[in-house]
Amino acid sequence: MRYNMLATTSATTIEPPIGQPESQFMISTKSTVTAVYAALLLLGAAACSRAATPDVPPSAKLLPESTVAFAWVDSPSQLVDLVLHHPLRERVESWPAYQQVMEADGLVKFKSGLSIFEAGMGMRWPKFLKQLTEGGLSVALDGESEGMVALVCARPENRAGENQNQAGEHELLGRLRATVFSLVRGGKPAGAETDPIATEDYSGQTVYSINGDTHWVTLDNWMVLTNKIDLARQVIDRFREEQAACLADEPSFLNAVRQRPADGQAWGYLNVQAVRESGQAQPLMSGRTENVVAEALLGGIVSNLQHTPYATFDLQVDSRGIEARLQTPHQNDWVGEDRAYYFGDGGHGTAPRLLQPERTLFALSTYRDLSQMWLRGGDLMIDKAVDELEQADTQLTTFFSGRDFGDDILSGLGPEIQFVAAQQDFADVLPRPAIKLPAFAFRTRMLTPRETQAEFRRVFQSLIGFINVVGAMQGQPQFDLDQQPLAGGQLIAATYVAAPAQRDSTSAAINYNFSPTVAFTDEHFVLSSTTDLARELATGASSSDIVKSTLQQLDNEEPANSMAHLNGSLLQAVLKDNHDQLIAQNMLENGHSREEAEGEIGLLMDLLGLIRDADLRLDADASRLRLTFRAAVTEMNAPQESAE
């Protein structure tokens, strides 16, 4: 027998919890049972646990070899401990929105049902959860049966007979089953004669079916929940017969397990080859993207998914934040010539350092040969996107005086791409726009500075002239062009000329967020939404700075294919700058009263106030492709960003 920790399972008599009249089990029984079952499944996607060695999870030996997706959590109860004792809990509980949620009718009913459940179990739910999941929790998806299964390993019994009920069943699991089944039976419609709980004996094990669609099996200290009866039978087979083929025998799964971090708190596996062969994710596995933006962001990953045998996921959570990694095997020849623009020759393309001007809200750096991507777009995107690309190429070629946009224009730019967005300071600015937007800029290297500078300067001036003509017909303010010398280059700025009635306005049109500017310095080209940001980036005051993100510190600032950084505090500040406009928009779109709109916007601000920063990083080498996400929460005593 595989994992015969104590005794075989047998049926027990279903009784209400001691001291609880049956009438109490009519209270919110349906929602309580649903919540309990959903919680058991969802815990497989959450994680916070003690460090684990990279061995095969025991539950993998109970699952069929046709398992497509698998997630394992060592100790889900530690996630609950983290939430219940987190330093930020007191702040969250002080929010008015939190108080409203806690007093909502649905949650009151749920808490009532939870109290009944705790009475049946004879303990509070945190203690119950710890005992229930002490041996880990797994959730899996089987490709053959198309069923989902949750396997929970409860606290093992220390010696024969201990923690067993009179029927020889694991005491905690037996009590749980009796409590849940009592709730199910108490919640059946009035007058219904059919028992919602059916039983089946399979290989000496009792399989309980709840309403015909949820199947429950207890195997020693394992609890198995699944939506497919055949999948329950397969788990029983592998529990009884150690030689039965199982997920733990699959070569790709074993390879994935060997690469699992020793300190991983939660880990997941996806058999990408099986998904690819099933045809269930054809749009994702086709190798084609839906538009130019998707191609630039995901093109290399899409090529990887056409060949990689599997993907893994691991997660770490602590009081400081969360870190998640998605990783696949990778080979440079999987990318091919069509997408060499994404990773560079030999897969060695690296992103430039992140920019950090004053009040940096968001920064992105990546390696992308835009010229090659544009020229090969017909082989990389779906037909609709190719048609749109050809139309855009024709229009841009005309705009650039007949010069081919991909061959002649983009080919003059290097693959080192930098983008940045920064909060603007409107304190001493008039006219001041009512809606205050961040400034943003694009920066790259010119391969042929003299030719590229002349071409881009002429096109920018033509574009501003065109906008002025169209704007005049629509009653919009006009741009005034200005050229300013820079050390080793030039800055060309377009500034709106305010009408006399608007010059001292503090609620001016959205146009006054912008002063489009191009800057040329040595070999770099900057295109910015504002003159101040363009000058700051062009003069080098910040262009060589690295965003000191926790992710880069974690990876020792090693080169990456792409990396991005978001400042959560400044994002909150930008939204506070537009607080009144957000409330008005909420009232208009959702039909809310001002009080309701203020509550929703206030909750959004509070939630953003919990995030200090977030980082995303894509790394590729000759053997693996890895995407890393990290988010850090604010410190308990950290001052909140002011909107002023």
Q: What is the 3-state secondary structure (H, E, C) of 371-439?
A: HHHHHCHHHCECHHHHHHHHHHHHHHHHHCCCCCHHHHHHHHECCEEEEEEECCCCCCCCCCECCCCCE
17: left (phi over 0), alpha (psi -120 to 50) or beta: beta
Q: What's 47's DSSP letter?
A: -
Q: Are 162 and 181 in contact (CB under 8 A)?
A: no
CA 553 to CA 419: how far, in whole Å?
Answer: 21
Confidence at residue 499, expressed as pLDDT on a 0 to 100 scale: 85
User: Beta partners for 148?
Assistant: 141
Confidence at residue 463, expressed as pLDDT on a 0 to 100 scale: 93
Say what the pTM is. Answer: 0.82
Tokens 């987190």 identify what position? 86
Low-confidence ranges of the chain (pLDDT < 50): 1-53, 158-161, 166, 542-556, 638-644
Confidence at residue 137, expressed as pLDDT on a 0 to 100 scale: 94
Tokens 């208009």 identify what position? 588
CA 600 to CA 592: how far, in whole Å?
Answer: 10
How high does pLDDT run on average in the chain? 84
Confidence at residue 79, expressed as pLDDT on a 0 to 100 scale: 78
**Cα-based angle 287, 290, 295 (whole degrees, multiple of 5):** 70
Confidence at residue 639, expressed as pLDDT on a 0 to 100 scale: 45
Confidence at residue 36, expressed as pLDDT on a 0 to 100 scale: 38
User: Beta partners for 69?
Assistant: 141, 270
Confidence at residue 163, expressed as pLDDT on a 0 to 100 scale: 53
Confidence at residue 280, expressed as pLDDT on a 0 to 100 scale: 80
Tokens 């698998």 identify what position? 70
Q: What's 162's DSSP letter?
A: T
- Sign of the alpha-carbon torsion through 58, 61, 62, 68: positive
User: Beta partners for 626?
Assistant: 327, 619
Peptide bond into 431 cis (omega under 30): yes
Give every CB contact of residue 481 below 8 A, 6+ residues apart in sequence. Answer: 461, 464, 492, 493, 494
